[in-house]
């Protein structure tokens, strides 16, 4: 089992350019489009530098394997498919991806997990605002299942059986003004 930083592949390009040192821009010019030269690799950190609060390097955190939820979802679908109204894999849109699904839904995320160390590092060491971090990145929270309350604890139990933390992170409600998302940080 390899350490999973939680970053997966969402926002990877942005993260790489925000934290990695400009020496990578000069050494690997093929790794970005020439028209973004001034925005490429504008951080101060090397791939072999330590990621705070872990025993791994920044490079290892960026390249850590993306966790697959297939075994969990196989069991969840087998037992509870009828009770599920939505599933979001929060890549490409981060915690706001839900806005693209359903009609007139207010998504309230008021009990998210604390962000893993790589995201805390990004928060502390880059110019990215919390709003941008949560809009772009999953913040270590990648899979959401919208389901009946009665089965939530059963789904959490299935997830924990596969050594993946899970919990109820919020709720949905009707919205008269289209879809919206409310993200409460630091609960």
**Cα(142)–Cα(15) distance, rounded to whole angstroms?**
16
Q: Answer yes or no: do 80 and 165 share one domain.
A: yes
Q: To 5 degrees, how large is the angle CA 43–CA 44–CA 47?
A: 95
Contacts with 78 (C-beta within 8 Å, 6 or more apart), sequence order: none
Q: Identify whether 18 is part of a domain.
A: yes
pLDDT at 10: 65
Are residues 25 and 75 located together in one domain of the fold?
no
Residue 136: beta bridge partners?
A: none
Of 23, 26, 52, residue with least CA distance to 116: 52
The pLDDT assigned to 9 comes to: 72
Counted residue by residue, the chain has a size of 187
Provide, rounded to the nearest whole percent, the portion of the chain with pLDDT above 90: 77
Assess whether 106 and 177 both reside in one domain: yes
Q: For the residues 108-119, what does the mean pLDDT come to? A: 94
The burial of 41, by beta-carbon neighbours within 10 Å (0-12 exposed, 13-18 middle, 19 or more buried), is given as buried
Same-domain check for residues 151 and 75: yes
Q: How many CA atoms lie within 13 A of 121 on its CB side?
A: 26
Verify that 127 and 169 share a domain, yes or no.
yes
> Does 111 have pLDDT greater than 60?
yes
Q: Do residues 79 and 169 share a domain? A: yes
Tell me if 3 is assigned to some domain.
no
Q: Do 88 and 51 lie in a common domain?
A: no
CB 90 within 8 A of CB 144: yes
Give domain status of residue 17, yes or no: yes
What is the tens place of the pLDDT at every residue in 155-166? Answer: 999 999 999 999
Closest CA to 40 of 24, 62, 17: 17
pLDDT at 123: 92
Percent of the chain at pLDDT exceeding 70: 98
Q: Which residues are bridge partners to 144 per DSSP?
A: 88
Domain span at 37: 12-62
At residue 120, φ and ψ (nearest 5 deg) are -65, -40
The per-residue pLDDT for 172 is: 97
Domains of the chain: total: 2
In this structure, the answer to whether residues 56 and 148 fall within a common structural domain is no
The reported pLDDT for the residue numbered 166 is 96
Output the domain CATH number for residue 92: 3.90.650.10
Decide if 114 is inside a domain. Answer: yes
Whether 17 and 95 share a structural domain: no
Q: Do 171 and 119 sit in the same domain of this protein?
A: yes
Whether 143 is covered by a domain: the verdict is yes
24 and 76 inside one domain: no
Q: For residues 51 and 57, give the distance between their C-alpha atoms in angstroms, rounded to a whole number.
A: 5
Same domain, 52 and 86: no
**What is the distance between the alpha carbons of residues 88 and 94, in angstroms, rounded to a whole number?**
10
pTM: 0.85
């Amino acid at each position: 089992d390899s350490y999973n930083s939680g970053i997966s592949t969402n926002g990877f390009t942005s993260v790489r350019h925000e934290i990695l040192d400009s020496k990578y821009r000069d050494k690997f010019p093929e790794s970005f489009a020439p028209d973004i030269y001034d925005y490429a690799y504008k951080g101060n950190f090397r791939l072999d530098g330590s990621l705070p609060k872990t025993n791994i390097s920044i490079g290892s955190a960026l390249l850590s394997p993306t966790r697959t939820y297939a075994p969990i979802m196989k069991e969840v679908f087998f037992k509870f498919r009828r009770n599920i109204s939505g599933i979001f894999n929060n890549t490409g849109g981060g915690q706001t991806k839900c806005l693209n699904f359903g009609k007139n839904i207010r998504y309230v995320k008021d009990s998210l997990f604390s962000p893993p160390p790589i995201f805390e590092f990004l928060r502390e060491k880059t110019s990215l605002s919390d709003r941008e971090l949560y809009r772009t990145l999953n913040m270590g929270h990648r899979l959401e299942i919208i389901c009946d309350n009665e089965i939530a604890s059963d789904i959490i139990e299935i997830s924990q059986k596969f050594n993946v933390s899970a919990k109820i992170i919020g709720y949905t409600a009707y919205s008269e003004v289209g879809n919206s998302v409310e993200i409460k940080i630091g609960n």
